[in-house]
Structure 1
Amino acid sequence: MTDDAVLFDARPDGIAVITLNRPGRRNCLDKDIREGLFEAWDRFEHDPALRIAVLTGSGSKAFCAGGDLAEMVETRMAEPPREMFPLPYDTIELSKPTIAAVNGAAFAGGWMIAQACDLCVASTTATFAVTEVKVGRSSPWAAPLIHMIPQRIMMEILLTGDPITARRAYEIGLVNRLAEPDELLPTALKLAGKVLAGAPLSVRAARETVMLATEMGRSAALQAARHSAARAYRSADAQEGPAAFAEKRPPQWRGE
């Protein structure tokens, strides 16, 4: 990674822990962080031993404070190039699930990358904000929020730019789990372990089903989800799962 701006821990249990490592700069999305994230996500996607990733930040103050405002001033940046930010499932092609472990402030671009992950665990001291209206910028990336939280709440968050607490983020459905600061990463890893316990092809089909359901009408989503599930149904794991249950033993997933 670029001068360790992003740390990558490939754990033997199949979990990749990706850490934004510029706590002195509140882990903002500067050039080094962006380059490190592009590299980290690519490494995760192409390592067959890794099945799920946890994205977090160094320090206790910020998960990610957003874009590098100094860079924006220096370059007189207008609309950022779409490929500028390493955004999972958007500018980054990923086929595996991801979890954001939000350790502090997730503002603007920090909210953006946390939102892009499939699941989110937050420290009880974390805060979330879409602050673009306060600095004359915009947040088109926030559009998918409408599938996560109610419209009126989304409207208030975007129009005011005011932060919300981790508890409020949990209440509105943005966050899956809350954890005390010292338990944040263990909680995220435990959630990742629950995902890893499932058959790999079934997990992939489940993720695709959720995404299809958010992007299509009911009938089209049903048809597409059936097609997506076919590989899992026809796999060796589809026979192993019921056999293991009947024999009262843990399944031995092969991912095929």
Structure 2
Amino acid sequence: MSDAVLFDARPDGIAVLTLNRPERRNCLAQDVREGLYAAWDRFERDPRLRVAILTGAGEKAFCAGGDLEEMVETGMTVPPRAMFPLPYDTIELTKPTIAAVNGVAFAGGWMIAQACDLCVASTSARFAITEVRVGRSSPWAAPLIHMIPQRIMMELLLTGQPVTAQRAYEIGLVNRLAEPAELLDTAIELAREILAGAPLSVRAARETVMLATEMGRTAALQAARHASELCYHSEDAQEGPRAFAEKRPAQWRGR
């Protein structure tokens, strides 16, 4: 893999992906995009890895967005559909992901943080959808309506003004805040809480949330019941109650 994106496969089942171009504020240049595609693919294919954390190198930026110099050089109009590696969109993933936002997450940086299932932010982080300030657009922000109130979303997109990590937490974009030196540890703690659950149950839970955001109530209930069948019929579904009754930690097998 390219050194534009570092990949740390931890023995506890957590993969840490790090955007590694701090001198360019970890912008989504071609080498970073290619590195992310490879990293997400590696994470998905490795059965030992169950949760991924995406963060940025350096203290200033998680990701400052797209490479504006590249846009000028190529005369880019509408970005190609597969240009940016977005979890659960242009990247097929079945496992949970956490964005650990260590600095600014502007435009495309907000985009990839939003695409992750969960978000932990440094208290020094800032978020902004800045496309209106450079004559671009942000169609990728459409799913944000399922995360934050409409009026707040409207203000963010119309003004391009940044918000603090505290404000992002207050509106529901961020799950947890951490001091800068404790950011990765906080994200790892959250990942470990997910790892404590049965793998098939975690997968069904994630699918249930996504189905609920995309369907009406009745359709979502029916689809979620179907998505849970594999979990209910698994060995783990018997192991969990047995372990509880025997007052011991469950031994999950993911089957």
Write out per-residue CA displacement over residues 183-235 of structure 1, whole angstroms, 9 at most, x where no aligned residue. 00000000000000000000000000000000000000000000000110110
Distance 1:219 1:29 in 2: 39
Aligned to 1:36: 35
Aligned to 1:159: 158
Aligned to 1:210: 209
Aligned to 2:191: 192
Distance 2:158 2:203 in 1: 36
Distance 1:27 1:21 in 2: 6
Distance 1:82 1:180 in 2: 36
Name the TM-score, length of structure 1 as normaliser: 0.99
Residues 106-125 of structure 1 aligned to structure 2 (within 5 Å): 106-125=105-124
Q: How far 1:95 sits from its partner (Å)?
A: 0.4
Q: How far 1:43 sits from its partner (Å)?
A: 0.2
Q: How far 1:250 sits from its partner (Å)?
A: 0.3
Aligned to 1:103: 102
Q: How far 1:94 sits from its partner (Å)?
A: 0.3
Q: How far 1:124 sits from its partner (Å)?
A: 0.1
The yes-or-no answer on 1:52 pairing with 2:51 is yes
Distance 2:114 2:123 in 1: 17
SS in 1 for 2:82: helix
Distance 1:35 1:68 in 2: 13
Extract structure 1 runs of 4+ deviating beyond 6 A: none
Q: Which runs of 5+ in 1 are unaligned?
A: none
SS in 1 for 2:112: helix
Distance 2:81 2:152 in 1: 26
Residues 142-157 of structure 1 aligned to structure 2 (within 5 Å): 142-157=141-156
Write out per-residue CA displacement over residues 77-128 of structure 1, whole angstroms, 9 at most, x where no aligned residue. 0010010000000000000000000000000000000000000000000000
Distance 1:6 1:139 in 2: 24
Distance 1:76 1:224 in 2: 43
Write out per-residue CA displacement over residues 226-253 of structure 1, whole angstroms, 9 at most, x where no aligned residue. 0000110110000000011011100000
Distance 2:77 2:227 in 1: 39
Count the aligned residue pairs: 255
Q: How far 1:145 sits from its partner (Å)?
A: 0.2
Distance 1:246 1:60 in 2: 47
2:95 counterpart letter in structure 1 = K
Distance 1:79 1:105 in 2: 24
Q: Which runs of 5+ in 2 are unaligned?
A: none
Distance 2:99 2:89 in 1: 16
Q: How far 1:54 sits from its partner (Å)?
A: 0.1
In angstroms, what is the RMSD of aligned CA positions?
Answer: 0.3
1:191 counterpart letter in structure 2 = L
The yes-or-no answer on 1:26 pairing with 2:25 is yes
Q: How far 1:65 sits from its partner (Å)?
A: 0.2
SS in 2 for 1:125: coil
Distance 2:38 2:241 in 1: 39
1:173 counterpart letter in structure 2 = G
SS in 2 for 1:84: coil
The yes-or-no answer on 1:227 pairing with 2:220 is no
Write out per-residue CA displacement over residues 60-81 of structure 1, whole angstroms, 9 at most, x where no aligned residue. 0000000000000000100100
SS in 1 for 2:65: coil
Distance 1:193 1:116 in 2: 20
Name the TM-score, length of structure 2 as normaliser: 1.00
Indicate the percent of aligned positions where both proteins have the same amino acid. 82
SS in 2 for 1:193: helix
